[in-house]
Amino acid sequence: QKEVEQDPGPLSVPEGAIVSLNCTYSNSAFQYFMWYRQYSRKGPELLMYTYSSGNKEDGRFTAQVDKSSKYISLFIRDSQPSDSATYLCAMRAGGGNKLTFGTGTQLKVEL
Amino acid sequence: GAVVSQHPSWVICKSGTSVKIECRSLDFQATTMFWYRQFPKQSLMLMATSNEGSKATYEQGVEKDKFLINHASLTLSTLTVTSAHPEDSSFYICSARDRLSSYNEQFFGPGTRLTVL
């Protein structure tokens, strides 16, 4: 079993839809949770950074962490075609360097 | 802020040759840089952690003699793929951690696509 599980998609939604992206994990030591956006043939770009459980909102993006269920989510409101990319979840233990990534979910927002 | 560059962005080489990839933090100092490899439709796999002025720490299964890492300054780390073979063809991405950041997040470079013929 992988430490971090993420549905690879592809996920196709119409413009303006609310998108829900999720990851589950098995390592209870993970305390820091991140979402990255990666366009084709580019490096990942940090979108959201969350410590422990709770919600964090930044513009159209909301990140949720439920440590009791080992489940994290990223919501994108009013999705735009420019949101079309691969979204990677990543997490690490407290005090550690190593990031463990999910496989990424490919999102396509259509006009 | 927090810009990381990589050079080259794309390289093609013949089997058996060596290729050097540079990773630079442009507007911050990075005591720690990380090298990842990403195969098509797969996630990023950490290869090694590079600390300024000391030897790199390699992940299990990564050959340190094949993937030479040098982190000679607070803004530059290099990865040299020695005696490259077609199976080394991949997307290599570096990241850097801002030593002054309280969040310890990593900022990624744009990646280098290596094709070994």
Instruction: Inspect the interface and report whether the beta carbons of B32 and A97 lie closer than 8 Å.
Output: yes
Angle at A43 between CA A55 and CA B17, to 5 degrees: 150
Alpha-carbon distance of B84 to B79, in angstroms, equals 12
Average pLDDT, chain A: 93
Instruction: Inspect the interface and report whether the beta carbons of B44 and A41 lie closer than 8 Å.
Output: no
Cis? peptide before B8, omega within 30° of 0:
yes
Instruction: Determine the pLDDT at residue B75.
Output: 92
Instruction: Determine the pLDDT at residue B53.
Output: 82
Model confidence pLDDT, tens digit, residues A66-96: 999 999 999 999 999 999 999 999 999 887 7
> Scanning the structure block, which residue is given the tokens 């999102």?
A107
Instruction: Inspect the interface and report whether the beta carbons of B4 and A43 lie closer than 8 Å.
Output: yes
Whether residue A19 contacts residue A83, with contact meaning beta carbons closer than 8 Å, is answered with yes
List the single residue in A8, A34, A41 with the smallest CB-CB distance to B105: A34
Instruction: Determine the pLDDT at residue A1.
Output: 73
Mean pLDDT of A5-23: 95
A70: left (phi over 0), alpha (psi -120 to 50) or beta: left
Instruction: Determine the pLDDT at residue B1.
Output: 63
pLDDT > 70 in chain A, percent: 99
State whether residue B93 sits within 8 Å of chain A by CB: yes
Instruction: Determine the pLDDT at residue B34.
Output: 94
Instruction: Determine the pLDDT at residue B102.
Output: 63
List the single residue in B45, B46, B109 with the smallest CB-CB distance to A43: B109
Instruction: Determine the pLDDT at residue A18.
Output: 97
Instruction: Determine the pLDDT at residue A51.
Output: 87
Nearest CA in chain B to A51: B103
Instruction: Determine the pLDDT at residue B103.
Output: 64
To the nearest whole angstrom, how far is the Cα of A80 from the nearest Cα of chain B? 23
Q: What is the pLDDT along chain B (117 residues), one digit of tens a residue?
A: 688 999 999 999 999 999 999 999 998 888 889 999 998 878 899 999 998 888 899 999 999 999 999 988 889 999 999 999 999 999 999 999 887 776 667 889 999 999 999
